[in-house]
Structure 1
Amino acid sequence: MRATPHRCQPERSEGSALNPQLKGVEKLEGTYLFDLAASAKALRLNRFLHGFTVPINRALFKGDPEAAFDKAGLSAEERRMVRELDWAALMRYGASFFCLEKLGRVKGVSNPEMVAGFRGESLKEFLKTRNVPGAR
């Protein structure tokens, strides 16, 4: 007997959320909703990024990114976002911050640089918003 695929969550229209506490969250600038729908959409990408915890996957990506993309079955858009390190687009797409940290580590990008990218700022611009004595 074959299992019938099922959905974890009903399809929702753009901008709507099933949880009433999240109503209007899409209007909050800089807020990235990570719910079941986003998680399901980005599952393949997040599995790819989480795979960087395995040394052979890191080596493949560093040596031949296209082969790594092919192996993971990434879409053209997913490949573009990873190639360009488009942090804001990756977050909007549904990439998990914790998986993005793995990409940052492989590419030599610090957390502050990633956060600046989420905000559409340079690292220098982002650091000016921090109220930390001696931060550079």
Structure 2
Amino acid sequence: MNPQLEGLEALEGTHLFTLERSASALRLNRFLRNLVVPENRALFRGDPEAAFDKAGLTPEERQLVRKRDWAGLVRYGASFFTLEKLARVTGVSNPEMVAAMRGETLEQFLKTRNVPGAR
């Protein structure tokens, strides 16, 4: 392990995005990344199951995406940058996504920030 990362996994809520984790979630991250392609976005919005089939997602990956289990997606190995693609397509803001990852409401999360009027 990279010496700079030693001990980080002991920090509550920290999920290291390692090469191994990245490789194990490559299919999911490709699916999420490809939501930038208009045809893929339209397919996902119109028929998520067909989009999952096209990407070859596993049952676990499909369930994580269906439920918008943001924390589960991170634990699985989804890159935050690809999660932003899913959030945009589903109308979820970054603060809403991060609040859900933390198990908080948006209002609870915003109280921990110094950003008046953020949504």
TM-score normalised by structure 2 residue count: 0.94
- 1:82-101 → structure 2 map (5 Å cutoff): 82-101=65-84
Structure that is richer in helix per residue: 2
Structure 2 matches for 1:1-136, cutoff 5 A? 18-135=1-118
Structure 2 unpaired stretches of 5+: none
Percentage identity across aligned positions? Answer: 74
The TM-score, its normalising length taken from structure 1, stands at 0.83
Q: C-alpha distance in 1, partners of 2:114/2:40?
A: 38
Matches of 1:133 and 1:39, distance apart in 2: 35
How far did 1:134 drift?
4.2
Moved over 3 A (4+): 133-136
C-alpha RMSD of the superposition:
1.2
Distance 1:43 1:106 in 2: 20
3-state DSSP of counterpart to 2:71: helix
Deviations 1:2-45 (A, max 9, x none): xxxxxxxxxxxxxxxx2122122111112220110110011000
Residues matched between the structures, number: 119
